[in-house]
Each structure stands twice: as C-alpha cells, then as structure tokens.
Amino acid sequence: MNARSPMQSYWSNSLAIRQEIQRFESVHPSIYAIYDLIEAIPDHLIQQQIREHVVCIEDSFVNSQEWTLSRSVPDLKLGILGSVQSGKSALVHRYLTGSYMQEESPEGGRFKKEVIIDGQSYLLLIRDEGGIPEMQFTHWVDAVIFVFSLENEMSFQAVHSHYAKMRQYRDTKEIPLILVGTQAAVKARPLVIRCVKVEECTPSQVSSGGIDCRD
C-alpha cells in the first residue's frame, strides 16, 4: 500500500479540521440564544436554575475528550488566562473574527481555528478559562497567554495569582508563556512595560503610565 504524500496528508487534515470547526461552532449560537432568553424570565430563581442546567449541558459539550486527550489530527492546545477585566475575551474574539467586541465573557469559552505552521495544518484549540487554572488545565496546555488590562491594576494582580496556581501543578519552564497587556483605546501617552518575566513584575505603577520590575 502506497503511503500518502505530504500534500495528501495536508489536505486530508485540513478538511477534517474545517469540518470539526463547523460542527463545534454550530452549537454555540443556540447556547447563546438560550442565555438571552433566560434573561427575559421574570422569576430570578427559575432564571438561576435554568442557567445552571444550561451550564452543565455546555460543560458536557465543551469538555469532550478533545479537550483532555490527544487526537489523530495534529493539534496545538493554547490556554488563555486573565480576569474578567483583562480584555482576554475581546482579544480572542479579535483573533478569531478580525472584529472587536465590548463585552467580556466571565464564563470563558472554547474555540477552534486552523493554523498553518511550517506547511503543516494544525487544529488550534483555544481554551479561555473563566476562573483560576486547575490541574487538568495546567497539564492540558501546550502554551499559555496571560492577559491583563493596562488600565486595570487588579487584572495584573490576577496574572500573578494564576501563574502561582499553575506552578503548583506543573513546572512552568516546560510551557511557553506569553504576557499580553490590552488597552481599550490608543492614548497620547502610551503605557510602558519594562519587564519580561511575569514573576519579576509588580503592578505598582499601572495608573502612572508603566509597570516596573522589582528590584
């Protein structure tokens, strides 16, 4: 039996990835529509009960084996960590759609995108966490992006907390880590970050136009 050529493998993987993205994304509009309908229910207790059931359904869907086990299609597992005020949801939305959105998603989300690296097609699994990183998340990721807002000191402090939590479960030297600062609008006086390592930064000067490293 003849082995598949690299080009045949590329197109086969690419087709499988696009089909999987289409299947996965078809569920989200219905889930979001249910959340909107819940807001119209006058009884707040019923609102909460229905919301909890929908969250369980969503968790069962997004926490399928592809988010915990390896698959035959080559993939890359990217984790996104940050507080609700960090702007991470807008950052992910911008990357996936090319457009901006104002609202943040406290629940986080799961997203997929095809990426080409060195001529190879990969399924990029983006896991936007709505809370602190747990053990399963920490061992699942291939890389992590920490996000904070240049206009919100608390969001930077959250980065320290998330990073410290991950270190409890895994040697972070094994994981590529990126620190991203977001800003809602371009200002005449840009904010400056003068450090390169998460553990060396302190948010004491966020409001005054920069973030300095510890002495």
27-76 pLDDT tens trace: 878 888 898 899 999 999 999 999 999 888 887 776 665 665 556 778 89
Look at residue 75 in the predicted model and tell me its pLDDT: 87
φ, ψ (nearest 5 deg) of residue 198: -55, -45
| Tally of structural domains, the chain | 1
In this prediction, residues 158-182 reach a mean pLDDT of: 93
Angle of helix 6-39 relative to helix 44-62, nearest 10 degrees, comes to 170
What does each C-alpha distance from 60 to 65, 122, 125, 192 come to in angstroms? 10, 24, 17, 42
Model pLDDT, residue 205: 45
pLDDT tens sequence across 61-118: 766 656 655 567 788 999 999 998 898 988 998 899 888 877 777 777 889 899 999 9
Domain carrying residue 52: 6-211
- Nearest Cα to Cα of residue 199 among 209, 213, 181: 213
Q: How far apart are CA 172 and CA 165, in angstroms?
A: 10
**pLDDT higher than threshold 80 for residue 192:** no
Q: What confidence score (pLDDT) does residue 50 get?
A: 94
Compute, in degrees rounded to 10, the torsion defined by CA atoms 85, 87, 92, 97.
120
Task: Report pTM.
Answer: 0.64
The residue among 177 and 204 whose pLDDT is bigger is 177
Here the CATH number for the domain that contains residue 115 is: 3.40.50.300
In a domain, 132, yes or no: yes
State the average pLDDT over residues 160-184.
92
Burial class (CB in 10 A: 0-12, 13-18, 19+), 212: middle
Nearest to 82 by CA among 127, 41, 46, 32: 127
Can you spell out the DSSP letters for 66-95? GGTS--SS-EEEEEEE--GGG-HHHHHHHH
In a domain, 37, yes or no: yes
SS3 of 124, please?
A: strand
Which has the higher per-residue pLDDT, 141 or 212? Answer: 141
Answer yes or no: is 205 within a domain. Answer: yes
pLDDT of residue 207: 43
Model confidence over 122-160: pLDDT tens digits? Answer: 989 999 998 899 988 998 999 999 999 988 889 999 999
Examine residue 104 and state whether it is found in any structural domain, yes or no: yes
Let me know if residue 1 belongs to a domain. no
Query: Which pLDDT band, with edges at 50, 70 and 90, does 215 fall under?
Result: very low
- Asked, for residue 140, whether it belongs to a domain, the answer is yes
- pLDDT at residue number 106: 72
Determine, yes or no, domain membership for 126: yes
Does residue 73 belong to any structural domain of this protein?
Answer: yes
Look at residue 6 in the predicted model and tell me its pLDDT.
72
pLDDT for the residue 74: 85
pLDDT, tens digit, for every residue of 5-19? 777 777 777 887 888
CA distance readout (Å), 144 to 119, 182, 212 = 23, 16, 22
